[in-house]
Each structure stands twice: as structure tokens, then as C-alpha cells.
A and B are shown apart, each in its own frame.
Chain A
Amino acid sequence: MMKVPVISLDATDTDDEDSETKTRCKRNGSVRKVREIQMDCAIGDPSGSPCTTLNTVISRFGRSQSLRRPPTAKTTKKEENGTPGSSRGASPTPSFIDISPIIRTASLRVKNQLAQRLSEPLKKAEHRISKLLMTEPDDEEFQHYSLVHGLKGCNNNDSEDAGSSSDEDDPEYLELLERDSIINRYEKGPDAADVDAWENPDFEVYTNLDRFGFVHKKGEKTDERTDLQKRRIIKELSREKKWLKMIEIWKSGGPSKKMEDRIWKGIPEKLRIVIWPRLLGAERMKHERRDMYAELLLRARLVSKDIKQIDLDINRTYRDHLAFRKRYDVKQKSLLNVLAAYSMYNTEVGYCQGMSQIAALFLMYLDEEDAFWCLHQLMVSPKHTMHGFFVPGFPKLQRFEEHFKKILKKYKPRVFKYLEKQDIPYIYLTKWWFGCFLDRVPFSLALRLWDVFLVEGDSILLAMAYNIMKMHES
């Protein structure tokens, strides 16, 4: 049998041919080549050992091949996750080799559909894929299916959108690849080989952990065992008891007056996991929309435009905290999920730098889904409306800046004049407010601020900014 590059019958290869065929028939209009491939496939031997063919394919296509493979494997995984149980058993061990052509054609189709309509066709496509995976057709059908559809798709492309170029140049497709490879890395976790060395911190400095889980270098004291700390712990224990009693009688609605007072004194460390979601009303949201989060996650994987930026920022979010220290570890994955899902849920905000810190803070105490709804409530609840801070143009930031200037002018005219004279812009407020002083003040203080911020709302931001000015007035 002739072993011309184009006729190898391994599924991966065929899959590859689709795109090549397309390119060709589009660019040169050469029908002959296409027909050749079709014929070869029809008479070809489908049981040719996949391994060797795969190797030749890889060596033949070099880098471009390896670039192309991960997304197919990835899509498979996604579908498995999306419809738990239904598709898992269907794919035999070297799964991506077998089903990749279908997934690929389908994902191309999804992509095309997305260009026209969102969400509806997406769900249909997902449904279709999972169905296909369940009824495992034999190899011949596979070949047939992928080829026919691949060619069909090519023709469609030709007639429908003559403007769009081949896969290689299509930015949307490239983006899909990039997105998939990023998500794939998180799926694989921290032990996969392809983590760049510089992305992980040195582990020998891993000596001092404070009570929040932040890592300190040797020599930096955390004061964990002084008398003061002991007293603090005893106090905290007694407060916890009081709080537990209080929570028991807290049925619904907002916090009582007494609770508000106590929140001002700080929520006990162990109870933030309960109190924060309730304060934000995230619990209710979660129960009302049970499957929402999983659905958003799925959608994010297919179409979110922000994953690249999110990935960049996860690499720079609280890397000195134990949970986020190891690249692609569990919590980093959760962070990606929360932010990606949110970029789908609130498309006006999408993802904005600064949100990763907030989401990470929630994740230190809560699980993924709770963190997601907390983030959402923080954005939209009338008390907090962080939404306005993060949407393009930052309308709320400007409003608050004006407001803050007025406050300063009225109550601290000396500071105000000094700042004006030195021509110091108010841009520092961005950093303060976007994360509600996270990263701007010591973490323990930031936590207390957040307790109050969650119960009182955004006026805290102004109050705290004013306070900082007052403290450093002289």
C-alpha cells in the first residue's frame, strides 16, 4: 500500500487531513487531491497500528502536529466531565486517537455555529457529541464520518463565509487551541512535566507558615508562640462559642444588630466559611440556580475570551500563600474555574485584573461554587456593586474618586491642598478599592476590613481611604 503522507489511515492523521484538505481545496481549488484522499481512505486498512502511524505523523508534521493534538484530547475530557457517566465508558483506552476526528469536526462546527448564534447551538452540539460518544461506531464508520463531514464543512466554508481563511490563520480557531491548552494544563495538575521551572517558587524557603497560610522566609518572625498569641487564641475560642450560639438562632434575612456589632470586632477565623456566603446572600443564589455553575464552566471552556489573561494572573496571585503556591495545583485550578465561569456569567465585566485576588480570598475559605456566588453577589448586590469598578471605563471608580476628593477637601483640607500642590494623582485609589485593600494592608487587617465591608457595603471603601489619610496626616 502506498504510504504517501496524505493517505495514512490513523484517525489522528485523517483528522489532520481534513484541515489540510480544506486548505488545499480552498487555496488551489484542486479537486483532484481531495478525491485521491477520499479513495485512499475508502480502500485503506483501518486496523493499521495507530502507534507507528502516529509516530510518523508526529515526525512528519513536527510542531504543528503537537500543537494540534492537545485540544482534541482536551475536548474529549470536557465532554466527559460535562455528562458524567454517560460518555465515560464509551471511549477505549487511547481515547483521543479514536474519537478525535469526531470531536474535531464537531468542535469546528460548534465554532462555526458560535459565529452565528450563541448558547443554543452550543448545547445542541454538546448533546450531539455525547450521544456520538455513547454509541461507539466501528472504525470504518469513523473514517467515513469524519471525512464526509470534513469535506462538507470545507464546502460550506467555501460558499458561506468566503471571507474567513483556513484554520491556521483563523484567530478564533487559534484562540480555541490556546484556551484548550491552558485548561489542559490545569486539568493535568501540578505534577505534569511541562511546568516551566520559573513558575514554581523555591521550596526550601518554605519554613514559616502563619495562621492564614502565608509563607514567610526564614528569619521573618510570625510571632506565633508568644504569650500574646496564646492569649489571642484563647480569646478567639471563647468568641467562637458565642458566635456558634448566635448562628444557631440566625434563621434568615440580614444579620441582627448584635451580630453586626460583633462583625465589627471580626468574624472568628473558623466561621468565615459560614458567615461570608450568608452575609452576601450567596447561599440563596446557589440553591436557586443549582446547575448554573457547572453549565457556565462548560461554556467557559468553549468560548471564554478571558482565559489567557486569567491564566497569566493566577500565576501572580497569592503565590506566597500555601494554597496557591504550587503551579496548577488544586486551588489554582479552582481559581481558574471560578474566574472563567464568572467571565461567562457576567459578560459585561468578563475578567478584570484585580478580581483574581478577590476570588482567591474567597477560595481560601470557601469551595469553588460558594466562592463563585460570593464573587457574583459582591459584584451585583446593591450594597457592594463592585461591578461598576470592573467594567470597562470604570465608572464607579471615577464617581468614588470625585466623592473622595470632596470628603478630603471638606474634612482634611490640609492634606487635600498638599496633595494638589504636589500634583499627586488619585490613581492610587484604584489599587485600594479594586480589592478592598487586599494586598495594600497587612492580611490580618485586610480580613477584618473585609468582614466589615461585606456587612456594611462600599461606604467602607471611602471610610478606610479617609482613615488612611487621617492616620498619615502629619
Chain B
Amino acid sequence: MHPVRKRSSIYQDVDFSYTVMILGDSCTGKTCLLIRYKDGAFLNNNFISTVGIDYRNKLINMGDKKVKLQIWDTAGQERFRSVATSYYRDADALLLVYDIANRQSFDNVRDWLSHIKEHGKEAVQVTLVGNKCDLPRVVQADEGRRLAEENGIPFMETSAKTGQNVDRAFLGLAERMIKMKYGFVPGGEMADTIAVNESKSINLSNCCPIT
């Protein structure tokens, strides 16, 4: 058996399969989020700017169900938006990232949201993520929360460096996608598959969809 085929056979067994796309301004930590989630590592001081688009598959268990997330990582530079657009037409969920230490990346969130409305799927699930919450903040958590509420999407703050809330951000998306389609979440909401680094109470209220 070829290793490649073996892996694909695993993927064919999955119960649910979704496409998640990470969007946001340049240098907000999109790739770092992906790598933290996929490999549990942080690219310490060896950051690379993403050219074009990249993707990774992540297999998660929710209760007794297997869920495959195909996670797309996009380049932040405006020029690549046209390329990204053609892909996020098919995306089931989007992670919209800004940098809490960079005001401008937060200001651009509105642009992104309108762009998503225009080009994304109608039922696309969006989560607003304020990344780099290990750095001194410029954008207050309340501002992010308010913006998310205005647009009826969940909000959370993450850190790809410490891993805080990263799993939860992706898992929250998976739950919502499944819930929307099938009306239930296997294994209960916020399934115990999450490796929670900090006390569970933090930000729990932010994780639930405001619908």
C-alpha cells in the first residue's frame, strides 16, 4: 500500500468534511494560527510570508464522529485577494483574523466583512479572531466584541504563540457547521477533545454563536 493512498482512505472514512479559510490583513498571524492548530507548534522567529494560498488537512474527533477540516491559509497582501476570492466561494467557514496590536488590521475587518458578504457562500460561518493576545494590545477586546455583535458573528481572542483559544476557534466553527446542517453537535458542544490550556471559564461566553 502506498502511504498516500492509506492516508486518503482515512479521509474517506470521515463523517463530515468542511472547508475552512483563514482571512485577514498581512502579518496578522494567519499562518501561525494554522500551524499552531495543525502541529501544535509556533514558528518562533522564523516567520515566512505566505505566497499565494496553502492548505492543510486536520482530522478531529467530535464524540464518535470524525470530522475533516481542510484549512486554507491565504496571503494577506491585497494583490492575492482575487485568487483567494475564487476559493472562498466554496468555503464553509471563515476565520477572519486581525492583530490586536495593530489598529489598522482591525479597521480593515469591515472591508473584509463586506467582501465576504459579496463573494462568500450565503450560509458561510464566520468567526472574528483577534490574534496575538500575548502582545501589548492596541485594540480592546470590547471593540472586537462589539464589531462581532454588530455583524452577528462570534468573537474570540487567540494567541498562536501560547496556543490560547486556537483549538477552540476552529472547533467552534466545526460545531456550528455541523449544528447548522444536522441540528446537533456530536459529543456535546465544546467537546472534550479540546486541549484547553487555560481555565475553561475564559471567553466561554464569546464562543457561542449569537444567533
Contacts and interface: CB of A to CB of B under 8 A. Distances in A.
A435 B53 CA distance: 14
A43 interface: no
A316 B87 CA distance: 25
28 contacts: A198-B135, A201-B44, A201-B46, A309-B26, A312-B27, A312-B49, A313-B26, A316-B27, A316-B48, A319-B45, A319-B46, A320-B46, A352-B79, A353-B51, A353-B75, A353-B76, A354-B52, A356-B49, A392-B82, A393-B82, A394-B83, A427-B52, A427-B54, A428-B54, A431-B54, A434-B51, A434-B52, A435-B51
Contacts of B53: 427, 430
A353 B49 contact: yes
Interface string B56-100: 000000000000000000011101101100010000000000000
A354 B27 contact: no
A64 interface: no
A339 to B, nearest CB: 12
Interface string A431-474: 10011000100000000000000000000000000000000001
Interface string A127-171: 000000000000000000000000000000000000000000000
A105 interface: no
Interface of B: 2, 8, 26-27, 44-55, 75-77, 79-80, 82-83, 87, 135
Given A353-B79, A354-B52, A428-B54, 5 more contacts: A353-B77, A394-B83, A430-B52, A434-B51, A434-B52
B26 A312 contact: yes
A72 interface: no
Nearest to A429: B52
A202 B45 contact: yes
Nearest to A349: B79
Contacts of B8: 422
A194 B5 CA distance: 52
Nearest to B54: A431
Given A309-B26, A353-B80, A393-B82, A474 B48 contact: no
A86 interface: no
Contacts of B82: 392-393
A316 B77 contact: no
Contacts of B135: 198
Contact of B49 (A201, A317, A320, A394): A317
Interface in A382-431: 392-394, 422, 425, 427-428, 430-431
